[in-house]
Amino acid sequence: MLIRELSLRTGASIRSVRHYESKGLLEARRLANGYREYDEDAIAKVKTIQLYLNLGFSTDNIAQIINCPTLPQNDRPLCKEAYKLYKVKLDEVNKQLEILHSIQLRLQERMKEFE
Amino acid sequence: MLIRELSLRTGASIRSVRHYESKGLLEARRLANGYREYDEDAIAKVKTIQLYLNLGFSTDNIAQIINCPTLPQNDRPLCKEAYKLYKVKLDEVNKQLEILHSIQLRLQERMKEFE
DNA sequence: CTTGACTATAACATAAATGTCATGCTTTAT
DNA sequence: ATAAAGCATGACATTTATGTTATAGTCAAG
């Protein structure tokens, strides 16, 4: 598919898709045209990028994480960094998730009072 | 405590603390000086703000959420908005948390191979 | 073969959090 | 009382993702 279709099917703007590519998060074959061409997998990839962005990762962080499993062995230290990123974020997320849940409960109760 | 201490004990820069205040996320008594003075609770509040920011909420979002429980009754609609914010983010977080966990597993296995 | 829709790249703009700097008022210590 | 350090406000800068605009190549339809 061409870039517009990818954009429509993910909700990411064309501009953003190109940006993700420039940051090394996404690849595209090029047609004889020079047009970018994507396969179906690209959709899942873009959606993953969107989720990570929504959780407060930067594109640089995301690049580390996404590219890690495909790196050659001598780039392994970069993987360790990606791993650290995970742990830190995972801790944050878990922590906040607890808080969100308790606040959600409190909110739900409060809102019941006014319905 | 004065602003520097709050900054040191939370890791938020003085600049950021003032910014949070200007966005309605944090209050400070003022000494006769004009200096801001905070109590111990301020530390937890700043840390909460930091967590929310790290999860990709904007200060405007955070303001809605934080101020909701203290709003008078006729501002209830704002609370509903805050509640929606929660739900959306909570869904996102849960979704990504699953993915993070599975990736974490994969990572851990891969890293074991190289230790 | 021209028009319109799509693509490309590149430059400039914007929003939001944060950094930095300038200027000036306290306060504390010498 | 003067210097050093902390505070205040305000303006400008920077970063990052994204929007917007300009310019130009490609392709399908009339």
Give DSSP secondary structure letters for B12-47. Answer: --HHHHHHHHHTTS---EE-TTS-EE--THHHHHHH
Nearest residue of chain A to residue B94 (CA atoms): A97
Q: How many domains does chain A have?
A: 1
CB-based contact (8 Å) between B105 and chain A? Answer: no
Please report which confidence band the pLDDT of residue A71 belongs to, taking 50, 70 and 90 as the band edges: low
Q: Is the separation of the CB atoms in A108 and B79 below 8 Å?
A: no
Model confidence at B45: pLDDT above 90? yes
Query: Nearest-CA distance from B98 to chain A in Å?
Result: 10
Query: With an 8 Å Cβ cutoff, are B96 and A51 in contact?
Result: yes
CA distance B90 to B97: 10
In this predicted model, what pLDDT tens digit does every residue of B57-77 receive, in sequence order? 899 999 988 887 666 665 666
Kindly report the CATH number assigned to the domain that includes residue A108.
1.10.1660.10
Model confidence at B114: pLDDT above 60? no
Whole-number pLDDT of residue A55: 80
Query: For residue A69, what are the domain limits?
Result: 3-112
Strand D, nucleotides < 7 Å from a protein CB: these are 6-9, 16-20, 26-27
